[in-house]
């Protein structure tokens, strides 16, 4: 038996194999061939070196840039192909999956869903009040996609966990609002006008506040301002503050007085939003 054949038969060396004739012959060759023995020893040295390097993992900068590129590609693709609903596949049999995050409680989802619907309504209803996209059926397709895509949620008061979640899901690094009296409750992925975004949920006293973030290739920087759309909310009770950082469109919606919501947005912007 020649060296290449023996090495191929015994590869990978740590894998158990049946003692078939070819295997026995290859082992016999290995026992009498110094070159093949050296080859397998070299393999161990190189594998150890590679394993040590691989254990370092990808740097955060690389992770962020890669997911940023994915988010940009998604945004571009969505403008022509809204096919996210099928962009998933089950893990192969036997493959270990990363642990799932806890799901938000149903009331939380209903509440945040209502806020999302409100924000979507604010976006969708044109000046003359005609719900064009609804008439065209797009909003229903969008909602179907949003549900099918399997929204991801995370329920946590840990800002670092939310940052990691958003960096992984959206490819953007965002700071979590940190102000006295503002308690972080969690975050979830949302779909607004075909764009994948996120909403971070806070509570201030009894009021629930939703902070929407939608990554953009380029967004016109705008200071926080109370949106005119606030007035179309049922009863006018839910003010909306919108603003934009260079790459993220943002909105704050909550059961708070408008000036309080505006103050939170402005303070948050000072924190780097």
Partner 1 sequence: MARTFEEVAGAELDGLWAGALFLVAGDEDRARRLVETTLVRAAAVFVCRARDEAPGAWLMDRMVRAFLAEDAVDGGSPPYPERGRGRGPGSSPPPDPLHQAAGATPPRARAALWLVLFRRRSYADAQAVLGVERAELATLVEAQAELHRVYRALLTAADPVASDGRRELR
Residue placing its CB nearer to partner 1 in the complex, 6 or 233: 6
Give min distance, CB of 30 to partner 1, in A: 15
Say how far apart CA 192 and CA 194 lie, in whole Å.
Answer: 5
Where do the H-state alpha helices sit in 155-210? 159-170
Phi, psi of 174 (to 5 degrees): -130, 150
**Which residue is it, tokens 């919501």?**
261
Give min distance, CB of 130 to partner 1, in A: 34
Give min distance, CB of 21 to partner 1, in A: 19
Give min distance, CB of 50 to partner 1, in A: 5
Q: Which residues pair with 191 in a beta bridge?
A: 196
CA proximity to 201, closest of 252, 245, 240, 250: 252
Residue placing its CB nearer to partner 1 in the complex, 76 or 179: 76
**Which residue is it, tokens 């979830």?**
188
Residue placing its CB nearer to partner 1 in the complex, 24 or 49: 49
Residue placing its CB nearer to partner 1 in the complex, 34 or 181: 34
Give min distance, CB of 84 to partner 1, in A: 8
Residue placing its CB nearer to partner 1 in the complex, 92 or 246: 92
Residue placing its CB nearer to partner 1 in the complex, 165 or 243: 165
Say how far apart CA 136 and CA 30 lie, in whole Å.
Answer: 71
Say how far apart CA 200 and CA 210 lie, in whole Å.
Answer: 6
In the complex, which residues of this chain contact partner 1 (CB under 8 A)?
4-5, 7-8, 11-12, 14, 39, 41-50, 53-54, 56-58, 62-63, 65-67, 69-70, 73-74, 77, 83, 86-93, 95, 97-98, 100, 149-150, 152, 168-169
Beta pairing, strands 248-254 & 207-215: antiparallel
**Which residue is it, tokens 């991801």?**
152
Give min distance, CB of 222 to partner 1, in A: 28
């Amino acid at each position: 038996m020649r060296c290449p054949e023996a090495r191929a038969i015994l590869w990978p060396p740590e894998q158990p194999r049946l003692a078939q004739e070819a295997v026995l012959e290859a082992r016999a060759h290995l026992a009498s061939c110094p070159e093949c023995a050296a080859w397998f020893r070299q393999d161990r040295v190189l594998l150890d070196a590679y394993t040590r390097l691989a254990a370092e993992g990808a740097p955060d900068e690389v992770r962020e840039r890669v997911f940023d590129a994915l988010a940009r590609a998604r945004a571009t693709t969505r403008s022509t192909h809204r096919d996210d609903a099928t962009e998933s596949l089950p893990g192969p049999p036997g493959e270990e999956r990363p642990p799932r995050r806890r799901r938000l409680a149903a009331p939380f989802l209903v509440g945040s869903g209502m806020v999302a619907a409100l924000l979507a309504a604010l976006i969708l209803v044109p000046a003359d009040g005609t719900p064009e996209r609804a008439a065209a059926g797009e909003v229903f397709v969008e909602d179907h996609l949003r549900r099918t895509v399997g929204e991801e949620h995370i329920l946590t008061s840990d800002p670092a966990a939310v940052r990691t979640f958003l960096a992984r899901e959206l490819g953007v690094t965002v700071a979590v609002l940190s102000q006295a009296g503002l308690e972080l409750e969690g975050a979830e992925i949302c779909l607004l006008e075909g764009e994948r975004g996120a909403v971070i949920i806070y509570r201030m006293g009894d009021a629930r506040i939703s902070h929407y973030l939608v990554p953009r290739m380029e967004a016109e920087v705008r200071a926080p301002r109370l949106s005119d759309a606030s007035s179309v909310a049922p009863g006018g009770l839910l003010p909306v503050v919108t603003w934009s950082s260079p790459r993220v469109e943002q909105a704050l919606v909550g059961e708070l007085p408008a000036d309080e919501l505006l103050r939170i947005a402005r303070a948050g912007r000072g924190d780097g939003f």
